[in-house]
Amino acid sequence: MTFPDAFLNPSTTTFLNAVVAYLMAVLVCYNIRRADLYQDHIMLVGILGGAVACGSIAVQENEIAAFKDLIPGFMTLSLVLSALAHQALRRIP
């Protein structure tokens, strides 16, 4: 299975539009769960974890492109883990 070139090597405009759409989705998810007690802390850990992972990859492979791949993944993972953890904590009597 091969992906179209537009996905593998998007134009600057396509990439910018995708980033804006992703950030809007993250902000909506973040604001929906705004009342969660430790959401800010979990998001910070996710973003810092992504930055550390990207930094280590950039040093080892001398490539900065890892940032555009890993930071959004770590942000999404931290939002999902925050929502799941808070949902589980609400069910504990």
Q: Calculate helix-pair angle for 39-61, 66-91, nearest 10 degrees.
A: 150
In the predicted structure, residue 85 carries a pLDDT above the cut 70: yes
b/e per residue 20-48 (b: at least 16 CB within 10 A): eeeeeebeeebeeeeebeebeebbeebee
Q: What is the mean pLDDT of residues 48-61?
A: 80
Residue among 93, 82, 77, 71 at smallest CA distance from 34:
82
- pTM of this prediction? 0.62
**pLDDT beyond 80 at 92:** no
Summarize the confidence of residues 40-49 as an average pLDDT. Answer: 82
pLDDT at 25: 84
CA distance 39 to 47: 12
Average pLDDT over residues 13-24: 82
Mean pLDDT of the chain: 79
